[in-house]
Amino acid sequence: MSSSCAVKLEPHQAAVFNRIRIWHVLVPTWFVYAAFVMGRRPVSVNRADMSAELQLSKLFSGNIDSSFLAAYTLGQIVLGTTVRLLNTSSINLLVGGLLMSAVSCIVLALTSNPWLMVVAWFVNGFSQAVGWASCLVCVTPWIGKQERGTVMGLWSTNMAAGGFLANVLLTATFPTSNGGWRRSTMLLAVIMSVVGVVAKIVLAKHPNALRMLSPHQLDAVPLVTQEDIVRAQLDRDGQALLGPSNGDAAAGPHCAAATSMSTWQLVCIPGVAGLACSYALHKLVRYVLTFWLPFYLAVGLGYSAVHAALVAGAFDFGGVAGSVCSGYAADGFKGGRMRLHFCVLLVGGLMLAMCGFVMFEDVFRVSPVICSAVVAVCGACSFGIDSILTGTVLQDFVERQRIPSQLAAISGLGGGVGALGSVLQGPTTVIATTSGDWIPLFVVLQVCCALAVAVSVVPLRLERAVSERGSPTSQLLL
């Protein structure tokens, strides 16, 4: 816990709080979101064997991914409406989405009808849309402002770890040929289901549901007491419905007095459109690498299905290191006041790494080890950019604009626009590789990286202006 919280809790209270948040919040949600990520991989990892068995064209194979991403985008846009209609807790929504994703994987494994695969993957995309937001709702009340970067940096490794585990599981458990991809996908779905059921049993709601104060409430001005929590009504996630007089930190996004802005008003805020468009371009690059690297390694470089999956797994392995290290490095860069500028350095590293696919394709063809190293660097930079851009950069931005209550709304807007980049990854890949040569694709990805920096010029200028004034970025309460 943060030091500010520790002085306000007795040692035994702090020990109980930490035990609950580690074993009943952070660890279960880490595995849940890792399972969500695993549920996205069967098509990309098994693309070559699926295409050969079912005689799928590259275009149709890309359409399966596009159906997933279109549904994922739609699911994010209507998530607020979905929550209101279902009127259920974030834990139920989280577990329900994971179980539905597992069912979609089972349908994919059992069917040989290509159009039913498209439908199953569309349902999977819609189910996956609840994962990230629901996890954040679960973990945020348990994390103090002074420790947010460290905790979330470690927790967000679930994205890369889930992808790596899926690559290994889908290729190492059964032979990928002769229908082995179907059995491995079924096994993955079973694991996802088990994780979902266990999470439903062990996950804890908001600290208020356990008659405990959250770190936000311990830091609130005016002071929030345990008696306030006991007297207050709880919402569906277990948070006490406190009035605005208890402070924004305590009331949080559930406060009835919290103001809201329309989508157009958010877009008109200087820098919001730039951040959203930049994220869309970065997401296009990351999703192309995520979904198509195994296929490129197998078809473009001639690797076996197993070797292709393992080398592609270096992207996620590097992503784990990138997610953790980039947060520490960004905090130290210019005193933590220029995190978006640090992202630009990571973009440069990603572009240099992708030059390897353009200039040293023959070397990669005979040396999977060198190829794995370059793929790992790509993963570290790509996941590092994603982690910072969707986390601390947004926190710094809303603080500079003095609109901290709009953090979730701006994050959702960025995620919705960013999802367009993931939808376009399929057509982009197919068009860029029409000639059968993969080098143009990596050139296109480098151009996208450069454009992502160009569209960020407004938020970059805002960040530099604050840094030159020498005003340190304070912690933001979510």
Residues of the chain with pLDDT under 50: 1-7, 244-258, 471-478
Nearest to 278 by CA among 432, 388, 357, 398: 388
Q: What pLDDT score does 38 carry?
A: 95
Return the number of other C-beta atoms located less than 10 Å from residue 466's C-beta.
Answer: 17
Return the number of other C-beta atoms located less than 10 Å from residue 273's C-beta.
Answer: 18
* Residue labelled with tokens 């002074």: 146
Q: How many helices (H) and strands (E) does the chain have?
A: 27, 0
Q: What CA–CA distance (Å, rounded) separates 308 from 96?
A: 33
Residue 221, both tokens: 């001005």
Q: What CA–CA distance (Å, rounded) separates 313 from 168?
A: 8
- 143 contacts 152 by C-beta, under 8 angstroms: yes
Beta-carbon-side half-sphere exposure of residue 266 (alpha carbons within 13 Å) = 22
Greatest pairwise CA separation for the chain in angstroms: 69
Q: What pLDDT score does 8 carry?
A: 58
Residues forming a β-bridge with 234 = 240
Q: What CA–CA distance (Å, rounded) separates 126 from 124?
A: 5
> Which residues, at least 6 apart from 142, have a Cβ–Cβ distance to it below 8 Å?
20, 21, 25, 26, 207, 214, 215
Q: What pLDDT score does 176 carry?
A: 64
Residues forming a β-bridge with 240 = 234
Q: Could you tell me the sign of the dihedral formed by the alpha carbons of 467, 469, 472, 476, in that order? A: negative
Q: What CA–CA distance (Å, rounded) separates 293 from 45?
A: 9
- 215 contacts 476 by C-beta, under 8 angstroms: no
CB neighbour class for 150 (10 Å; exposed up to 12, middle 13-18, buried from 19): middle
- 228 contacts 241 by C-beta, under 8 angstroms: no
Alpha helices in 360-424 (DSSP H): 361-366, 368-389, 392-400, 407-423
Q: What pLDDT score does 199 carry?
A: 97
* Residue labelled with tokens 């390897």: 356
Q: What pLDDT score does 255 carry?
A: 39
Q: What CA–CA distance (Å, rounded) separates 49 from 55?
A: 9
DSSP 266-322: HHHSTTHHHHHHHHHHHHHHHHHHHHHHHHIIIIIS---HHHHHHHHHHHHHHHHHH
Tell me, what DSSP letter sits at residue 173? S
Cα end-to-end distance, the chain, whole Å: 16
Residue 191, both tokens: 């694991």
Return the number of other C-beta atoms located less than 10 Å from residue 181's C-beta.
Answer: 26
The dihedrals phi and psi of 461, each to the nearest 5 degrees, come to -65, -40
CA 205 to chain centre: 21
DSSP 194-241: HHHHHHHHH----GGGGT---HHHHT-SSPP-HHHHHHS-B-TTS-B-
Residue 262, both tokens: 């329309």
Beta-carbon-side half-sphere exposure of residue 277 (alpha carbons within 13 Å) = 17
Q: Give rounded-to-5 percent helix, strand, coil for the chain.
A: 80, 0, 20
Alpha helices in 111-225 (DSSP H): 114-128, 131-139, 148-155, 158-172, 180-202, 215-218
pLDDT digits (tens, 9 = 90+) for 86-102: 778 889 989 999 999 99
pLDDT digits (tens, 9 = 90+) for 354-398: 999 999 989 999 999 999 999 999 999 998 898 888 777 776 787
